[in-house]
Structure 1
Amino acid sequence: MFQIFRDHWPNYLIEAWGLGTFMVSAGVFATLLYAENSPLSFPHPLLRDLVMGLGMGGTAIAIIYSPWGKRSGAHINPAVTLTFFHLNKIAAWDAFFYILFQFIGALAGVLLVAVALGSPFQEAPVNYVVTVPGQWGWPAALVAEFTISFVLMTMVLWVSNTPQIARLTGLFSGILVTLYVVFSAPISGFGMNPARTFGSALPAQTWTAFWIYYFAPPLAMLLAADLYQRITKMRSHSICSKLCPNGETPCISPICCSACDQVIRPWRQKEKVDAIS
C-alpha cells in the first residue's frame, strides 16, 4: 500500500483537485445565478438553467482535457472509479485512494466557496448546492439519478473505445453535464456523484434521500459496464479507463496503457499520413 501511495500520490491529488475545482465552479455559478439579490437577471428560468449548465459542462471539459486531467484520467467521481475497478482497469488500493481524495476534494471545494462567498452561498436557495429530490419526490429523483449515470457511463465506454472519436470523450461528457444540469437538476438536483453530494451535504447538514445519491450512480454505471461488455464482447483489458484517452501521459495501470495504445494508434497513423500528404 505504501509503495503504491508513493508512486501514485500525484494522481490522487489530481482527483481531489479535479472534483474540488468542479465544486468551486458549481458554487460560484449557482451563487451568481440563483442567490437572492443576485445582480444577474434572466427573462426566463430556463435560460438561467442553461447558463448554469454551460458553466458546469465547460468546467468538466476543461478539467478532463487539462494536463492534470489527462494524467489521472479525470474520474472525479467514485462511481466512475468503482466501475473501472470492476473492469480491472485500476488496482484496489489505487481505487481506494482515488475515491478517498475525491471525497476530500469535493468537501474542500465546497468549504472554500463557503468561506469566500459566505451567506449567499450558504443560505437558501443555493444552500451549499446540495442535491435533494425536486417537486416529484424521491421516486423521480431515483429514476433520474440512475438514468443519467447509466447514460454517462455507456457514452464514456462507447466513445473512449472507438478510435475515430475517442478524443471526443471529454467533449461528449461536458455536453451531457450541460443537459443534465438543465433537465435533471430540477428533478434530482443532479448528483450523479456520491462525493459531490457528500461535499455539499456535510456542511449544509442536509441528508434528504442521501441514499439515492450514494447507491444509484455506482449501480447504474456498473450495470452499464456489464451491458457494454456483453454487447460488444470486448474484454476488460481492451478498455481504456481515462475520460481523455491520450498518449501524452502514462495510465495508472500498465494494462490500461496497452488499451489506450490500441485506441490511440489509429490517430497517430492518420496523422502520419496527413503529414506526408
Structure 2
Amino acid sequence: MAKIALGSHREATQPDCIKALVVEFITTFLFVFVGVGSAMAADKLVGNALVGLFFVAVAHAFVVAVMISAGHISGGHLNPAVTLGLLFGGHITFFRSILYWIDQLLASSAACFLLSYLTGGLSTPVHTLASGVGYFQGIIWEIILTFSLLFTVYATIVDPKKGSIDGLGPLLTGFVVGANILAGGPFSGASMNPARSFGPALVSGDWTDHWVYWVGPLIGGGLAGFIYEQFFIVRSHVPIPYEEARF
C-alpha cells in the first residue's frame, strides 16, 4: 500500500515544480475555457436539450484528451479530484497537491471571467442538481462518476502494466468523461471536478448546491486512487521517491 507523502514547502521553489504549476494552470484554463464555453454555446445556439447535452459531452471529451496529453509535464490533472486520487496512491506529495488545487481553482476562475467578458456578459452555466434530485442522490452520482474517471486514469495512465492500451490513456479518459456527462448530466450535472464547478459559481455568484461538487468528486477520486493502488497495481520496481512522486 502506498503511503501519503507530506512533502516540503521547499518544493514550491524547485524549478520542476514551478514548471509543472505553469503547465497545470495553462491546461486547466484551456479545459475550463472550452468546457464552460461549450455549455454557453449550447445554451445560446441549441434548442434541443438532447443535442445540447451531446454537444457539451463531446467538447469535454475532446478537450480532456488533448489537455491531458499536452500537460504531460504536470501530469495534466485538470481536476482537484484527480490530484487527490493520485495523492492517495502516493504519486504526488501533499504539499504539491495543495499547490495544484490552488492552481486549478485560479485557472478555472480566470477562464470563466474571460468567457464572461468575451461573450458580452452571457450567463455562465453552473452545476446544480436537477429537479427531483436530492443532495444525497447528487453526491452518489458524483462519487460514482468521479470514481469511474479516476479508475480509468489509474488503469490507462498510472498503472505500469498498461499493455496494449499504452499511450491511449488520455483519449480513453476523455471518452469516459464524455460518457459520464451523457449519463449523469441531466441529473447531477456530471461535474466530476470541483475546479470545473468553482469557476462558473464564482463568476455568476450562484453557489446553489455547490458543496455537492466538492464532496462527491473528492470522495470518488480518493476512493478510486486508494482502491486501485491497494488492490490492482503490482509494481516490480522500487517506488518513486516521494519528493518526486507524480504522474
TM-score (norm 1): 0.76
Consecutive unaligned residues of structure 2, counting only runs of 5 or more, are 1-8
1:97 to partner: Cα distance: 1.0
Task: Map 1:1-277; keep pairs closer than 5 Å.
Answer: 1-2=9-10, 4-7=12-15, 8-35=17-44, 38=45, 40=46, 44-66=48-70, 69-119=71-121, 121-122=122-123, 128-137=124-133, 138-160=135-157, 161=159, 162-232=162-232, 234=234, 254-255=244-245
Structure 1: gaps spanning 5 or more residues: 123-127, 241-251, 261-277
Q: Displacement, 1:63? A: 0.7
- Larger CA deviation: 144-153 vs 7-16: 7-16
Kept after mapping to 2: 8 A contact 1:19/1:102: yes
Residues 146-187 of structure 1, C-alpha deviation per residue, up to 9 Å, x if partnerless?
Answer: 110011111111222123313111111111111122221111
- What one-letter code is carried by the residue in structure 2 that aligns with 1:146? I
Amino acid of the residue matched to residue 186 of structure 1? P
Q: Hey, what's the Cα distance between the residues in 2 that align with 1:27 and 1:228?
A: 30
| Deviation at residue 13 of structure 1 after TM alignment | 1.7
Return the alpha-carbon distance in structure 1 between the equivalents of residues 60 and 238 of structure 2.
31
Deviation at 1:134, TM superposition (A): 0.9
Q: Whole-Å Cα distance in 1 between the matches of residues 236 and 188 of structure 2?
A: 32
Cα 1:134–1:172 change in 2 (3 A) is same
Deviations 1:194-215 (A, max 9, x none): 1221111112111122221111
The alignment partner of 1:72 has SS state of coil
Matched residue of 2:73: which SS?
A: helix
Structure 1 residue 234, shift from structure 2 partner: 3.4
Decide whether aligned partners of structure 1 residues 167 and 238 sit closer, same or farther in structure 2, where only a CA change above 3 A counts: farther
| Mean Cα deviation higher: 133-142 or 100-109 | 133-142
Aligned residue for 2:187, secondary structure, equals helix
**Cα separation, partners in 2 of 1:190 and 1:239, compared to 1, 3 Å:** farther
Identity of aligned residues (%): 23
TM-score by length of 2: 0.85
CA distance in 1 between partners of 2:97 and 2:173 (Å): 21
**How far off its partner does 1:140 sit?**
2.8
Shift of 1:189: 1.5
- What is the total number of aligned residue pairs between the two structures? 234
| Structure with higher helix content | 1
Displacement of 1:89 after TM fit? 1.3
Aligned-residue Cα RMSD (Å) equals 2.5
1:2 shift after superposition: 4.7
Task: Give distance in 2, aligned partners of 1:2 and 1:230.
Answer: 29
Give the drift of 1:9: 1.1
Q: Is the 8 A contact 2:80 2:195 kept in 1?
A: yes
State the shift of 1:233 in Å: 5.7
Structure 1: which amino acid aligns with 2:198? F
Write out per-residue CA displacement over residues 92-129 of structure 1, whole angstroms, 9 at most, x where no aligned residue. 3221111110010000000000000023x32xxxxx12
Using the TM superposition, give the Cα deviation of residue 133 of structure 1 relative to its aligned residue in structure 2, in angstroms.
Answer: 0.4
1:272 — aligned with what?
Answer: none
Structure showing greater radius of gyration is 1
In 1, distance between residues paired with 2:112 and 2:61? 18
**Contact 1:88/1:237 (CA < 8 Å) preserved in 2?**
no
